[in-house]
């Protein structure tokens, strides 16, 4: 496994002191001078409109299936890496699903089921969601649906990690807790994430297009985001494999337990694949970001159909202690981690 660059979050509390504090090796500055940031911001400001043209559903709705995934004709060259990053192709989404379907864990125990599951990626659906179900209500036609908003949320988290990596390239540290909390709040407020909203947030975070020129960092950020998508699909496969009521159970305790069981299923998939560490990182990141936007209370607890995200984060770490340790995460420090993140994500007054 190749050595990773900086982790997305400061999850690795134990190894942090090991980072060289002084005299970092000289690096080429990766293009984030003030002028370039301003230029990048201007470009991003126009990106929402461009995205609308490039990604709008074609008349009749079938044109994009036979044509190119993204129509680059209206996209300025400087924006293409951004558009590509934010909109993974159906072929990429299919690879995430195949990672789950062909995993040792799934194939050893649920091969027949898994091979019969249809995978549907709906890039035009802004819902930050994925779900398992049955096509036409037919139990013989199990299906997992991945909505575009979910994928965009994952890539947005990846983009924020790029900002951090870019700052690290210039020898500075960037606290991205505030950005992650904004993403969390945006998702919990609307439940959706359109391309335009993603661009709004990138503008709000002052992410220039320059950070997307660092090929190695972009590749790392994509892998991080893909880990989130794999964790989501592993969870949905778990619902099908375990014969769950698929969100229909009126008993909230049963519903929460089924969610927790599907999470553990995804954890077992992560434990059985070659790049399971990336999938676990995605699982942890997903719950970490969502936990930032949750305020726990007994009243809310009774109404919830899903476990609290902080609990899901903790369970994911305990389910894969060795893999978590390889990410630098000590199970005993998970609660500290969430508390620290919440305080780091408080709005700041300094510019």
For binding to Zn ion (CB under 5 A), which residues are involved? 259, 262
Tokens 């159970």 sit at which residue?
Answer: 249
Residue 92 in tokens: 């990429």
Cα distance from N-terminal residue to C-terminal residue, the chain: 39
The backbone torsions φ and ψ at residue 261, rounded to the nearest 5 degrees and listed phi first, read: -65, -40
Instruction: Considering the complex, state which of residue 32 and residue 233 has its C-beta at the smaller distance from Zn ion.
Output: 233
Instruction: Considering the complex, state which of residue 85 and residue 308 has its C-beta at the smaller distance from Zn ion.
Output: 308
Under a CB-based contact definition with an 8 Å cutoff, are residues 169 and 211 in contact? Answer: no
Under a CB-based contact definition with an 8 Å cutoff, are residues 167 and 173 in contact? Answer: yes
Q: Shortest gap between Cβ of 247 and Zn ion (angstroms)?
A: 7
Q: Shortest gap between Cβ of 236 and Zn ion (angstroms)?
A: 7
Under a CB-based contact definition with an 8 Å cutoff, are residues 327 and 280 in contact? Answer: yes
The backbone torsions φ and ψ at residue 147, rounded to the nearest 5 degrees and listed phi first, read: -85, 150
DSSP 255-320: HHHHHHHHHHHHHHHHHHSTTHHHHHHHHHHHHHHHHHT----HHHHHH-SS--HHHHHHHHHHHT
Instruction: Considering the complex, state which of residue 126 and residue 259 has its C-beta at the smaller distance from Zn ion.
Output: 259
Q: Shortest gap between Cβ of 239 and Zn ion (angstroms)?
A: 6
Q: Shortest gap between Cβ of 235 and Zn ion (angstroms)?
A: 6
Q: Shortest gap between Cβ of 334 and Zn ion (angstroms)?
A: 21
Instruction: Considering the complex, state which of residue 262 and residue 285 has its C-beta at the smaller distance from Zn ion.
Output: 262
| Nearest of 103, 99, 136, 97 to residue 117 by alpha carbon | 97
| Nearest of 153, 156, 179, 157 to residue 7 by alpha carbon | 157
Under a CB-based contact definition with an 8 Å cutoff, are residues 306 and 249 in contact? Answer: no
Instruction: Considering the complex, state which of residue 129 and residue 214 has its C-beta at the smaller distance from Zn ion.
Output: 129
Q: Shortest gap between Cβ of 306 and Zn ion (angstroms)?
A: 7
Sheet holding 142-147, edge to edge: 118-122, 142-147, 130-134
Strand segments, DSSP code E, in the chain are 118-122, 130-134, 142-147
Instruction: Considering the complex, state which of residue 197 and residue 256 has its C-beta at the smaller distance from Zn ion.
Output: 256
Q: Shortest gap between Cβ of 248 and Zn ion (angstroms)?
A: 12
Instruction: Considering the complex, state which of residue 55 and residue 130 has its C-beta at the smaller distance from Zn ion.
Output: 130
Tokens 């195949």 sit at which residue?
Answer: 98
Q: Shortest gap between Cβ of 332 and Zn ion (angstroms)?
A: 27
What does each C-alpha distance from 299 to 147, 255, 296, 308 come to in angstroms?
Answer: 30, 17, 9, 13
Instruction: Considering the complex, state which of residue 79 and residue 262 has its C-beta at the smaller distance from Zn ion.
Output: 262
Instruction: Considering the complex, state which of residue 133 and residue 331 has its C-beta at the smaller distance from Zn ion.
Output: 133
Q: Shortest gap between Cβ of 266 and Zn ion (angstroms)?
A: 10
């Amino acid at each position: 496994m190749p050595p990773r660059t900086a982790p997305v979050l400061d999850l690795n509390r134990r190894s942090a002191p090991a980072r060289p504090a002084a005299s970092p090796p000289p690096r080429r500055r990766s293009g984030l001078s003030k002028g370039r940031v301003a230029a990048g911001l201007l470009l991003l400001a126009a990106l929402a409109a461009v995205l609308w043209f490039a990604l709008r559903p074609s008349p009749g709705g079938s044109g994009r299936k036979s044509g190119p995934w993204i129509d680059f004709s209206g996209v300025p060259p400087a924006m293409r890496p951004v558009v590509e990053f934010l909109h993974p192709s159906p072929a990429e989404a299919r690879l995430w699903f195949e990672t789950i379907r062909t995993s040792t864990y799934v194939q050893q125990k649920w091969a027949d089921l898994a091979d019969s599951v249809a995978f549907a990626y709906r890039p035009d659906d802004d819902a930050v969601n994925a779900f398992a179900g049955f096509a036409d209500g037919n139990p013989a036609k199990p299906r997992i649906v991945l909505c575009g908003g979910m994928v965009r949320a994952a890539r947005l988290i990846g983009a924020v990690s790029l900002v951090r990596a870019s700052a690290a390239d210039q020898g500075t540290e960037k606290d991205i807790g505030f950005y992650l909390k904004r993403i969390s709040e945006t998702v919990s407020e609307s439940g959706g994430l359109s391309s335009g909203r993603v661009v709004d947030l990138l503008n709000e975070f002052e992410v220039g297009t320059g950070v997307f020129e660092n090929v190695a960092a972009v590749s790392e950020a994509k892998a991080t985001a893909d880990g989130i998508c794999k964790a989501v699909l592993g969870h949905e496969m778990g619902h099908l494999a375990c014969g769950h009521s698929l969100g229909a159970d009126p008993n909230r305790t049963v519903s929460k337990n089924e969610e927790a069981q599907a999470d553990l299923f995804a954890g077992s998939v992560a434990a059985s694949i070659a790049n399971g560490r990336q999938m676990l990182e995605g699982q942890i990141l997903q719950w970490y970001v969502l936990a930032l936007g949750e305020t726990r209370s007994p009243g809310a607890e009774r109404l919830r159909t899903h476990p609290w995200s902080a609990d899901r984060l903790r369970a994911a770490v305990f389910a894969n202690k060795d893999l978590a340790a390889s990410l630098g995460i000590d199970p005993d420090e998970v609660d500290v981690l969430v508390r620290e993140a919440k305080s780091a994500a408080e709005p700041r007054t300094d510019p």
